């Protein structure tokens, strides 16, 4: 565990281009350890792009260029000696649409352990990991008798919880969430938010959201972005009550977005 | 508030419709509809027609007193022109067809699936386009050309490298057939891999898998039905192929003991002998019966492939 005082994610003058289009412009920020930080801003402001930099999944597409610095857990993730596999092990990601793999519930949860172990893990280790992870996301009661059901047949809310649960056996430090509730109904959203609160402290959570009310309810700190730039980064309540930047104020008032 | 619409059969509505749609337009539409319908069901008509015709030519032989269906299926003795006793056993040719197809699949499946994985997951856009054109070109080579290559180029190489007395044998036919099946396996296999939702790839990549783990643990299981269908269509091609195997396998009625033995396949047998058998003779009808057997085999393989492909779509 890293020292709570040092930020989990630090970026300095981060620029990113998709081909010729510049999606991030000189973004510098410190994301605090153990808190929930939300990224808000209108569509196309670069919040998802920024999130996808933190575990370098952006680079799947060959036409992405990045300059600047990102330090995750005090390690520059663009250093040549960085292992993407290890980075992604400690920085988990939850996607907009729940995307459990087309395997059983059980195999989804232990997928990470299987791919990251040098020798095949024992049945007992796996069983224990499944129960622990599913308990942590409040799915154990619902699914303990259906562990071998195909995960893609679950309700969306359960799928999304499962997508969080499958990160946990890898003991990540950071969990990135890209609009995790946008495919869910009100109850599902409430359940995921509750889950975020219960995971807070143990994990640093960064959540991209379109929903300002959600950012306000569910996050400790809030970053407002516009046209690829970081406009404002403060405690959530301060940002919503007394925004410093007029653009932030206009956005949270709903003048544009 | 708009006024309540007039009922459909009111004179006003009928008048408007009649004015809008002249007679020729309505008739034209009906006849085009009819034509589309006929072309839609023509495939069914043709398949049934072919089956009925082949069956009609074959069935009378079942009534002949010196013909037995079990001997036809389970005897290796094929002497259709013997003066003393004609014997019609196609077991050796069934063995020939299966041995050549099996060897072809042993070669083509790893190559075909490997190429499909490379095309779908590894290579860049440009390489993919180029390779696909070349692979399609491979599929467009006429089978008699493949047979010619087997007969002239491959057979010399096989004699040279294996020391076999003849170069036209199971190995030759298997390799030629493999080359012919690979394009089918590649293009259907690639489609199956491309159909795996990208969200599965993202999920696995974000969990920190290596490329190999992604393919092995996520893509192959997710695409397995499509890949199996690709392989079965390749098998169908192998069972049904005629000209290339006729030229490359040596045409000896013989249950093969090794890959260097010459064989004859069911298809090659029909192609070679039908011209010599006099119409309506027992020999002629047995050849048609072989056709029914082949038809059933390929139909079963294609049906299986289709059922499997349907299985993927439902998910």
Are residues B39 and B111 located together in one domain of the fold?
no
CA separation for the pair B310, B305 (Å, rounded): 9
pLDDT tens string A199-222: 888 899 999 998 888 999 889 999
Are residues B232 and B121 located together in one domain of the fold?
yes
Q: Hey, what long-range contacts does B47-53 have (CB within 8 A, 24 or more apart)?
A: B50/B295, B51/B295
Q: Domain containing B120: what range?
A: 74-314
Instruction: For residue B176, tell me if it sits in a domain.
Output: yes
Our count of domains for chain B comes to 2
Are residues B51 and B89 located together in one domain of the fold?
no
> What pLDDT does A1 receive?
46
Chain B neighbors of A99, CB-CB under 8 A: 197, 199-200, 202-203
- pLDDT confidence bin for B1, thresholds 50/70/90: very low
Are residues B53 and B87 located together in one domain of the fold?
no
- pLDDT confidence bin for A6, thresholds 50/70/90: confident
Instruction: For residue B69, tell me if it sits in a domain.
Output: no
* Listed range (A168-177, B31-40, B296-305) with the worst mean pLDDT: B296-305
Residue pair A92/A172 in contact (Cβ under 8 Å)? The answer is: yes
> What pLDDT does A62 receive?
78
Q: What strands, in cross-sheet order, belong to the sheet with A229-235? A: A91-94, A174-178, A204-208, A36-40, A221-226, A229-235
Instruction: For residue B31, tell me if it sits in a domain.
Output: yes
Question: Is the pLDDT score of B310 beyond 90?
Answer: no
Instruction: For residue B5, tell me if it sits in a domain.
Output: no
Which is nearest to A162 in space by CA: A90, A87, A97?
Answer: A97
Instruction: For residue B3, tell me if it sits in a domain.
Output: no
Q: Which residue of A has its CA nearest to B198?
A: A99
Are residues B45 and B176 located together in one domain of the fold?
no
Are residues B217 and B305 located together in one domain of the fold?
yes
Are residues B37 and B148 located together in one domain of the fold?
no
- pLDDT confidence bin for A3, thresholds 50/70/90: low
From A99's Cα to the closest Cα of chain B, the distance in A is: 6
CA separation for the pair B114, B119 (Å, rounded): 9
Instruction: For residue B182, tell me if it sits in a domain.
Output: yes
Chain A contact present for B203, CB below 8 A: yes
Angle, alpha carbons B34-B36-B40 (nearest 5°): 115
Question: Is the pLDDT score of A191 beyond 50?
Answer: yes
> What pLDDT does B34 receive?
94
Q: If you average pLDDT over residues A158-181, what whole number do you get? A: 92
Closest residue to B204, CB basis, from A89, A101, A116? A101
- pLDDT confidence bin for A167, thresholds 50/70/90: very high
**CATH of residue B86:** 1.10.3720.10
What ipTM does this complex have?
0.88
pLDDT tens string B107-155: 999 999 999 999 998 888 899 999 999 998 988 999 999 999 999 999 9
Closest residue to B222, CB basis, from A84, A102, A112? A102
pLDDT tens string A17-73: 998 999 999 999 999 998 999 999 998 888 999 999 999 998 888 788 999 999 998
pLDDT tens string B12-48: 766 666 667 788 888 999 999 999 999 999 999 998 9
Domain end among B63, B89, B106: B63
Are residues B212 and B114 located together in one domain of the fold?
yes
Chain A contact present for B144, CB below 8 A: no
Instruction: For residue B160, tell me if it sits in a domain.
Output: yes
- Which region holds residue A233: left if phi is over 0, alpha if psi is between -120 and 50, else beta? beta
> What pLDDT does B8 receive?
65
Are residues B32 and B106 located together in one domain of the fold?
no
**CB spacing of A89 vs B208 below 8 angstroms:** yes
Are residues B114 and B163 located together in one domain of the fold?
yes
Residue pair B91/B72 in contact (Cβ under 8 Å)? The answer is: no
Which tokens go with B122?
Answer: 């590894």
Are residues B228 and B121 located together in one domain of the fold?
yes
Question: Is the pLDDT score of A4 beyond 80?
Answer: no
**CB spacing of A112 vs B124 below 8 angstroms:** no
Q: Give the burial string for B154-189 (b: 16+ CB within 10 Å, else e).
A: bbeebbeeeebeebbbbbbbbbbbbbbbbbbbbbbb
**CB spacing of B199 vs A95 below 8 angstroms:** yes
Question: Exposed (0-12), middle (13-18) or buried (19+): which is B151, by Cβ within 10 Å?
Answer: buried
Are residues B42 and B94 located together in one domain of the fold?
no
Domains and CATH numbers, chain A: 9-97+173-253 (3.40.50.300)
Mean pLDDT (chain B) is: 88
């Amino acid at each position: 565990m890293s020292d709570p005082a040092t930020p989990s994610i630090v970026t300095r003058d981060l620029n990113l281009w998709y081909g010729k289009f510049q999606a991030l412009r000189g973004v510098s920020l410190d994301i605090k350890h153990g808190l929930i930080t939300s990224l808000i801003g209108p569509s196309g402001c670069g919040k998802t792009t920024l999130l996808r930099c933190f575990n370098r999944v952006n680079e799947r597409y060959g036409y992405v260029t990045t300059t600047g610095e990102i330090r995750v857990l005090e390690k520059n993730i663009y250093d040549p000696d960085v292992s993407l596999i290890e980075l992604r092990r400690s920085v988990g990601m939850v996607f907009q649409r729940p995307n459990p793999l087309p395997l059983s519930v059980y195999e989804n949860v232990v997928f990470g352990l299987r791919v990251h172990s040098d020798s095949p893990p024992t049945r007992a280790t796996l069983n224990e990991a499944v129960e622990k992870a599913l308990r942590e996301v409040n799915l154990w009661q619902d699914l303990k008798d259906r562990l071998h059901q195909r995960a893609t047949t679950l309700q969306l809310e359960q799928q999304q919880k499962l997508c969080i649960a499958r990160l946990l056996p890898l003991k990540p430090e950071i969990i990135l969430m890209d609009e995790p509730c946008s495919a869910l109904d009100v109850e599902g959203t409430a359940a995921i938010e509750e889950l975020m609160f219960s995971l807070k402290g143990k994990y640093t959570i960064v959540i991209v959201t379109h929903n300002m009310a959600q950012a306000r309810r569910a996050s400790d700190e809030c970053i407002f972005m516009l046209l690829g730039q970081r406009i404002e980064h403060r405690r959530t309540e301060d940002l919503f009550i007394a925004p410093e930047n007029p653009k932030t104020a206009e956005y949270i008032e709903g003048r544009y977005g | 508030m708009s006024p309540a619409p007039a009922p459909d059969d009111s004179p006003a509505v009928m008048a408007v419709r009649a004015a809008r749609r002249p007679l020729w337009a309505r008739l034209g539409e009906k006849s085009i509809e009819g034509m589309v319908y006929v072309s839609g069901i023509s495939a069914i008509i043709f398949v049934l027609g072919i089956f009925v015709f082949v069956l009609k030519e074959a069935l009378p032989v079942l009534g002949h007193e010196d013909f037995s269906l079990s001997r036809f299926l389970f005897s290796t003795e094929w002497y259709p022109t013997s003066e003393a006793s004609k014997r019609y056993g196609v077991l050796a040719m069934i063995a020939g067809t299966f041995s050549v197809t099996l060897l072809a699949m042993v070669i083509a499946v790893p190559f075909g699936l490997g190429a499909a994985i490379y095309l779908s997951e590894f290579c860049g856009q440009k390489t993919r386009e180029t390779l696909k054109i070349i692979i399609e070109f491979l599929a467009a080579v006429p089978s008699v050309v493949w047979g010619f290559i087997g007969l002239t180029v491959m057979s010399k190489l096989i004699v040279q490298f294996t020391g076999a007395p003849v170069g036209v044998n199971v190995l030759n036919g298997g390799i030629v057939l493999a080359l012919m099946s690979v394009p089918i396996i590649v293009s259907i296999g690639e489609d199956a891999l491309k159909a795996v939702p990208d969200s599965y790839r993202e999920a696995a990549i974000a969990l920190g898998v290596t490329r190999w783990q992604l393919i092995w643990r996520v893509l192959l299981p997710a695409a397995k039905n499509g890949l199996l269908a690709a392989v079965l269509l390749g098998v169908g091609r192998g069972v049904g192929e005629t000209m290339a195997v006729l030229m490359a396998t040596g045409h000896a009625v013989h249950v093969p003991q090794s890959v260097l033995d010459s064989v004859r396949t069911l298809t090659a047998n029909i192609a070679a002998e039908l011209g010599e058998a006099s119409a309506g003779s027992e020999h002629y009808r047995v050849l048609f019966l072989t056709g029914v057997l082949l038809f059933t085999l390929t139909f079963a393989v294609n049906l299986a492939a289709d059922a499997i492909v349907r299985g993927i779509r439902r998910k």
